[in-house]
Structure 1
Amino acid sequence: MKHLKNIVIIPARGGSKRFPNKNITLLGGIPLLEHSINYAKTNKINKIVVTTDDLKIKEIALKNGVDVIDRPKELSGDLATTVSAMKHVIENVEETFDNVILLQPTNPLRPKRLLKEAYQKFIDGNYDSLMTVTRNEQKLGKIVVDKFVPFNYKIGQRSQDLAPLYYENGLLYITKTALILENKILGENNYPFIVDHPFAKVDIDTKEDFEYAEYLSSKRK
């Protein structure tokens, strides 16, 4: 059986309007970025690459012994997509890889065995891609002409009786490299790997998100 080669890509831009310098802000004493680097290191990965346009982020990555791909300006703006940065990495590393694992630094807390279990599911099912999802427990609705219109429930319905809906939690993605080169993170044969864990609610875009991550991190210790 062919031994598959896997690359972890961690995209970390320097610019963040809602939370400046978030990727280098200390969480539990180490930069946010470093949590994803350390997580990748605890798993059997052939290569770990940080793609960034920021010198401080680059210094942190190199200090932690991982490779860095300098992201060009046209792939670093607010409208630049994650997949464009991932494709740029694949096109600029010397080796070839079968699969790409995306770890976003804004999701610094992950269950210890998540990657191992998700990757095994990805391989056993011969999927094109895998994404982590979490069940929604909220009663959602829309505002239409100043009126609230329930979306996933009926007024008076108990929350525990809601039809199961899931959200993309961003903890990790696994994708065949060929898809990334087609500018796709998810393929048609995509597996939604369910994560029922408090860490799935951590996605840092604001200072308030960061404070919640600090709380969970302190409780874990």
Structure 2
Amino acid sequence: MTDGENGGTAERVRVLVVDDDPLVRSALRLVLGADPRVELVGEAADGVEARAAAASLHPDVVLMDVRMPREDGITATAHLVAGPRPPAVVVLTTFDADETVLAAVRAGASGFLLKDTPPEQILAAVHRVHAGEPMLSPSVTRTVMAAVAAAGGSARGDAARARLEGLGERERQVAVAIGRGLTNAEIAGELYLSVATVKSYVTALLAKLDAANRVQIAIRVHDAGLL
């Protein structure tokens, strides 16, 4: 909701930062503090702390490191998105190895950014995933799709096609558009629907395709060979 819609100040996006490097947490603290629409609600140094903090602080978005002691970011992400009131998770890492990208996306991450991503793009990622849109660095997007294509086995392809066969025609069109990386507004314009209607379709697709977020919908579409 915008300021104009409620006549007051819009709620800020609540963010939890998870990284075992205090310097990285400090840098992210500065980045997030530059945006009055964002509230840093807590920090954690590993996946175990992240899960405890998320349970008590209820963040909207978690910025998650990958390599950490005790529990890594991929494992923590899977736990967070499977729990009640799941936050959107943006994975931040210093490397974009194919297996790391795929593991993060399949665990339920809504975004994947390299740590050298400019501050304004990190903030854009926070707002975008909070709004239900995926956020990937361009190089990471290419990596995800290439890795999905390379790893596509017949069993997974058959499973994806079986799930997609249960969709209505309009749902299938929206799913393919998501697989192409279109936003809700872009899908609405292309399919002559309202944004609210597109959001309803996305919600239905998440349930029918057993997907945690839009990125996983896109993977289902790629696995099914529709792109």
TM-score range, shorter chain: 0.3 to 0.5
| TM-score, normalisation: structure 1 | 0.33
Q: Which has the higher strand share?
A: 1
Q: TM-score, normalised by structure 2?
A: 0.32
Of Structure 1 and Structure 2, the greater helix share is in: 2
Bigger Rg, which one: 1
